[in-house]
A and B are shown apart, each in its own frame.
Chain A
Amino acid sequence: MSAACGVDAAANPFRASRILEFRYRFVDSGWDALLSKLEALGMRGAIVGPEGSGKTTLLEDLGERLRRSGRRVIFGGVEAGAVTLLDGAERLTRRQWRRFLREAREAAGLVVTAHRPGYLPTLIETRTTPGILDAAVLAASGRRCEGFAVTPEELWTRHGGNIRTALRELYDICAGRVSPSSRGAQRRGIPDSFAT
Chain B
Amino acid sequence: MGCFFLALTVQGAWRTIRTYSWDRTTCRMRDGFVARAEGSSGNYEFRPRYTYQAGGATREGIVYKPGYSGSSQAGEAEALLSRYAKDTDVPCYVSGDDPDKAALARPSLWTLLIVLFPLVFVAVGVGGLSFAWSPRRMAPDPEKRALSSKAGSPLQAAGCLAAFFGVFLVAGLGMSLFFTLPALKVVKARSWREVPCTVIESRVRTHSDSDGSTYSVDILYEYEAGGRMRRSNRYEFLGGSSGGSAAKESIVAANPPGTRRSCFVNPENPDDAVMDRGLSKTYWIVLVPLLFAAAGFGGIIYAFRIRKGGPRAPGDAASFAAKPAGAAAIPSGPVKLPTPHPVAKVFGMLFLALFWNGIVSVFFWKMLSEWKSGGKPFGLTCFLVPFVLVGLALIFGVFYSLLAAFNPRPSLTLSSKAVPLGGSATLSWTFTGAVSRMTTLTVLLEGAEEAKYRRGTRTYTDREIFAKIPIFESAGAVAQAGSADVRIPADTMHSFSGGSNRIVWTLKLSGQIPKWPDVTESVEIEVTPS
Contacts and interface: CB of A to CB of B under 8 A. Distances in A.
A touches B in complex, CB < 8 A: yes
Given A77-B133, A91-B132, A177-B464, A193 B458 contact: yes
Interface stretch (B135-143, B178-186, B481-489): B135-143
Interface in A47-99: 51, 63-64, 67, 73-79, 88, 91-92, 96, 99
A73 B133 contact: no
Contact of B453 (A64, A92, A100, A189): A189
A85 to B, nearest CB: 8
A78 B133 contact: yes
B455 A164 contact: yes
A63 B138 CA distance: 7
B460 A77 contact: no
A141 interface: no
A71 to B, nearest CB: 10
Contacts of B453: 16, 168, 189
Contacts of B111: none
B457 A91 contact: yes
Nearest to A88: B457
Contacts of B455: 51, 164-165, 189
A7 to B, nearest CB: 14
A100 B133 contact: yes
Contacts of B129: 96, 99
Contacts of B150: 17
B462 interface: yes
Given A64-B142, A99-B129, A192-B452, A75 B460 contact: no
B504 to A, nearest CB: 13
Given A16-B152, A64-B142, A76 B459 contact: no
Contacts of B432: none
Interface string B425-466: 000000000000000000000000000110111111111100
Interface string A155-196: 000000000110010000000010000000000111111010
Contacts of B463: 190
A192 B136 contact: no
A87 to B, nearest CB: 10
B137 A75 contact: yes
Interface residues of A, number: 32
Interface residues of B, number: 23
Interface in B150-197: 150, 152
A173 to B, nearest CB: 14
B373 interface: no
A73 B138 contact: yes
A74 B137 contact: yes
A78 B135 contact: yes
Interface in A133-173: 164-165, 168
Contacts, number: 65
A106 interface: no
A65 B138 CA distance: 11
A50 to B, nearest CB: 10
Given A164-B455, A165-B455, A190 B461 contact: yes
A39 interface: no
A75 to B, nearest CB: 4
A174 B132 CA distance: 37
Nearest to A67: B138
A142 B465 CA distance: 29
A192 B457 CA distance: 11
A78 to B, nearest CB: 7
Contacts of B462: 188-189
Interface string A28-42: 000000000000000
B134 interface: yes
A32 B486 CA distance: 64
B210 to A, nearest CB: 26
Nearest to A175: B464
A188 B150 CA distance: 26
Nearest to B137: A74
Contact of B136 (A64, A74, A164, A188): A74
Interface string A93-121: 00010011001000000000000000000
A75 B458 contact: no
Nearest to A195: B461
Contacts of B458: 191-193
A51 B129 CA distance: 24
A168 B129 CA distance: 33
Contacts of A67: 138
A191 B459 CA distance: 6
Nearest to A84: B135
A51 to B, nearest CB: 5
Interface of A: 16-17, 20, 51, 63-64, 67, 73-79, 88, 91-92, 96, 99-100, 103, 164-165, 168, 177, 188-193, 195
9 contacts: A20-B152, A64-B142, A67-B138, A74-B136, A74-B137, A74-B138, A96-B132, A190-B463, A192-B460
Interface of B: 129, 132-138, 142, 150, 152, 452-453, 455-464
The 7 closest A-B pairs by CB, nearest first: A77-B135, A189-B460, A75-B136, A189-B462, A192-B459, A73-B138, A74-B135
Given A64-B142, A74-B136, A96-B129, 6 more contacts: A17-B150, A75-B138, A77-B134, A99-B129, A191-B459, A191-B460
